[in-house]
Chains A and B, each alone.
Chain A
Amino acid sequence: MGEKDDLYEKLRQQYTDEELVESFVFPHGLTEEEKKKADRELWEFRKKRLQEMTPEEKIYSGLLRIKYQVKAYVESGYYDENKNVSNYLHEYMRVVAKNQKELAEDIAVHPTRLSRILNRREKLSLAIAYRLEGHSGDLIPAILWWKLMQKEVEHEIRTDEKERRKEKKRVKNIVYKNAS
């Protein structure tokens, strides 16, 4: 009996089996050969499952991939130029196997408007975020699209000095001037 099994036996004296599964996944305890065999068998099973996946399961899995990737990103503290609404919308269309025209029709948005969003010339509106939520069967909540867009906007505010200067020039009256 190895050190890890000794610990398992000790813990079995302290806790019930139910309590153990609420606190542990134990080291597997198989020999190298046994582990390889178990992994081989599981991979055969997994390959079969992958081959048998229905189109609906593939869409479901793809949508959840987008959901959890976006969620992890919007909750993180970093900015990544590639993780933007446009790229995730392109990925969304790939997962649900729809082109721009089909998606625009599905969510009742003018194709030109969707094209502008995909080309980053227009921001995603809350209304479209809600429609995308509905389109995904509520798998990808509107709030995630919204937060993803907000992250882009925040980055723009922090970095786009040209736009800031341009808009400030249009101000006709400044209500407070810092004396210093």
Chain B
Amino acid sequence: MKLLHRRSGEFHEAVIELVQDEDWEIIEKDENFEFNWLKEKKYFVHKITLKLEKEILGLVSIEDIPKELRLFIRLIEVGKKHRGKEKVYDHVAGCLLAFTCDLAFQRNYNGFISLIPKTELVNHYKSKYGFGEFGSHLYLELEKSENLIKKYLENG
């Protein structure tokens, strides 16, 4: 997968990996992250970094719900440097969402992922990532899930 370096317009290789024991102290001290990620330790927390570099650009906390055949996204946070108008790298959250879709196919969940959005953001998630809406949840499955993978993980 590749992230867009906005200033140069170039795409740089990135990797997503499970957060390891030694990462937690770094995350706790990292001022680029504002949520208390230690509370997510019992879930599947993954980090995205540039290949061969250590800086964590973003994090995702995933809850596996096998009896409902779905992955629930509890939390995504992109580091401060990569948010808003001044962001250095683009597509960080998109890659983390697409990675979750990939996992949901691997686990035989038909690519089904869900999240519960803030009300004000519902339409933006739908238009940006193609989410469908049911009750309080937004969800992706099958083609919509694959589209996200193609867009963010298979972009060269």
Residue ranges of A at the interface with B (Cβ–Cβ < 8 Å)? 4, 7-8, 11-12, 14-30, 34-35, 38-39, 41-43, 45-46, 49-50, 53, 57, 60-61, 64-65, 67-69, 72
Contacts and interface: CB of A to CB of B under 8 A. Distances in A.
A38 B83 contact: no
B78 interface: yes
A67 B92 CA distance: 23
A7 B33 CA distance: 12
**Interface residues of chain B: helix, strand, loop or mixed (majority):** mixed
A35 B116 CA distance: 9
Interface of B: 34-35, 58, 60, 65, 68-70, 73-78, 82-85, 90, 92-94, 97, 102-103, 105-106, 108, 110-112, 114-118, 120-121, 124-125, 128-129, 134-137, 139, 141-143, 146, 149
B75 A43 contact: no
Nearest to A11: B34
Nearest to A57: B142
B110 A23 contact: no
Contacts of A19: 83-85
A15 B116 contact: no
> Which 4 residue pairs across A and B have the least CB separation, nearest first?
A28-B116, A38-B136, A25-B76, A23-B78
A68 B110 CA distance: 12
Contacts of A17: 120-121, 124
A73 to B, nearest CB: 10
Nearest to A67: B105
A7 B116 contact: no
B111 A21 contact: no
A23 B83 contact: yes
Nearest to A40: B135
Contacts of A28: 74, 115-116, 136
A25 B83 contact: no
Contacts of A12: 120
A41 to B, nearest CB: 4
